[in-house]
A and B are shown apart, each in its own frame.
Chain A
Amino acid sequence: MVTSPAQTGPAGSRVSATNVDTLLAIRNLTISYGDKVALKDVTLDVKRNDIFGIIGPANAGKTSFLRSLNRMDEFVHTMKVDGDIQFAGRDLTTVRNLYALRRMIGVVFPLPVGLPLSIYNNVALAPRLAGRVKKADLDVIVERCLRRAALWDEVKDRLNSLGSLLSGGQQQRLTIARALSQEPQLLLLDEFSIAVDPVTTMRIEEVLKELKNEMTIILVTNLVQQARRLANRTAFFLGGSCIEINETEKLFSGGATDQRTVDYLEGRFG
């Protein structure tokens, strides 16, 4: 990883360390797959307990951005990440225990992924991986996470049936419950509403509004209005670059400075 000299001071002093409210400080992040550059020179901060929205059309680099945050480059062999990512004041390149890092970061995918395990085991998987095996503990975690994901009432009588056979909307809430079972500091949502009906989407959005009291959320969405409803701050990605970042309200009420952002927000392309 290359750290931009302009962004780092003397040894030890880190950009984000100056501000305890900042959970993520990203400087000059560039992500490439082989010769193809997916994201170029992105610099942004994400504050604690914010919902940070990222909007933009396909191939904007949104998903690659999320993948770099929990170091999925370890699994995607062609993926190369340059730049400086600080998570809770810690430079991600210095993190050796990536598994602990990923447990601090929950991920929800565009298409729901109910693992072919029982509903109970889906939610209990992450705590089990972390070494919690007491049935009583797990029972509590499973119920709490399913409740918070607004799924408990629908599945409480069939916790032993397969999570992968639930309906799309239920599976997406199961995925969220699973992400919550890690007790993450950061929740990454990648276009979570693509395969979910509008009613479920609204329910999940309500859940997110409550969750932000406890964690930081990065919401990648292709629904501009969803970002407006939920995000405190919003970034507009286009073609691998971050075009503009601003308070969501400013962005949507005429505060957008870049013409491309204005066009996108008004639905003229994308």
Chain B
Amino acid sequence: MSQLQVNQSHVSTFQPTTTEGRALTVQKLLRMGFLAVTLLLLIPAGAILAVLVFEGAPGMSWDFLTTPPRQGGAAGGISTALVGTVWLTATALGLALPLGVAAAIYLSEYARDNWLTRTINVAIVNLAGVPSIVHALFGVGAFVYFLQFGKSILAAGSTLAVMTLPVVIVSTRESLQAVPQSFRDACWNMGATRWQTIWRIVLPNSGSGILTGLILVVCRAVGETAPIMFTGAVFLRQMYPNSLDDKCMALSLHLYNVSTQVQDVPDHIPFTVALTLVMVVMSMNSVAIYFRMKLRGKKKW
């Protein structure tokens, strides 16, 4: 106790000086400011969801999801659009996964740091910035006409894949780079080839990260309208697609149509379509989150 009292004479040392006081005030204000901005971001997200649920939920039903649209979407459901979106997404994913991962493996594990690699990296970054409508025109020229896929799921899926590839490559490369270099060194010193190292050590430890990134990227593609409207998605189709050569409907394009192109659409239908689209994206996101949690839970080094 006496010790404490003795020490009290030093307490004045901890009184903030003017400079310290100012620094503390600034720090407090900034913290509040940053918090406010962060909370502001929640408003649009929350508002969008609230409006969609409020306006769209009453129209949502099993029937709506499982019957094809009629009268240009003014009546009936959205089943063919929903299924079409799944086809398009799966095609895009199926193409972007092997190509993107292969390119990322090359860039991360094999490429030397020379002008070619640097050029490729710049190209990837620039490609990621190309507007989707430009990708759409490229898709028409390259896939529909030049490769003669015709207007089809294959052409639309390929266009979506090309559009998402740069982002897939970047996110995959980051997952690969997250595996410590010392693991590669250890393997090489044991007489492993680059591929043996990649196959046994690098990929098993970056797989979940790659998959997470991939899903996040592809769900952005789900909502894209421009790249598919000239390459494979159609205004109305009451049959489910049977093959990659078929045309199909898509939720994003259908939403555009029922909102602006078709007359006499009941007020709730665009909202219900939008709600469905958001739910598709969110369910894919939750798969990605699941993978990420699994990845975090299993700390391996």
**Which A residues form the contact surface with B (CB < 8 A)?**
70, 72, 75, 77, 98-103, 105-107, 109, 111, 113-117, 125-126, 129-130, 162, 164-165, 175, 178-179, 182
Contacts and interface: CB of A to CB of B under 8 A. Distances in A.
Interface stretch (B53-61, B186-194, B225-233, B264-272): B186-194
Interface size class of B (residues with CB under 8 A): 20 to 34
B190 A103 contact: yes
A153 B266 CA distance: 75
Given A113-B182, A116-B183, A129-B196, A102 B189 contact: yes
A269 B162 CA distance: 59
Contacts of A98: 191
B14 interface: no
A99 B182 contact: no
B200 interface: yes
B193 A113 contact: no
B301 A165 contact: yes
Contacts of B294: none
Given A113-B185, A115-B183, A182 B191 contact: yes
B112 interface: yes
14 contacts: A75-B188, A77-B113, A100-B191, A107-B186, A107-B189, A109-B185, A111-B182, A113-B185, A116-B205, A125-B200, A129-B191, A129-B192, A165-B301, A182-B191
Interface of B: 112-113, 182-194, 196, 200-201, 204-205, 299-301
Given A109-B185, A117-B200, A162-B300, 10 more contacts: A77-B113, A105-B189, A107-B189, A114-B301, A115-B186, A115-B187, A126-B190, A129-B190, A129-B196, A175-B186
A116 B182 contact: no
Contacts of B194: 75
Nearest to B114: A77
Contacts of B112: 77
B301 A182 contact: no
Contacts of B192: 99, 125, 129
A125 B187 CA distance: 9
A233 B189 CA distance: 25
A69 B56 CA distance: 69
A164 B301 contact: yes
**Which are the 3 A-B pairs with shortest beta-carbon distances?**
A103-B191, A102-B191, A116-B300
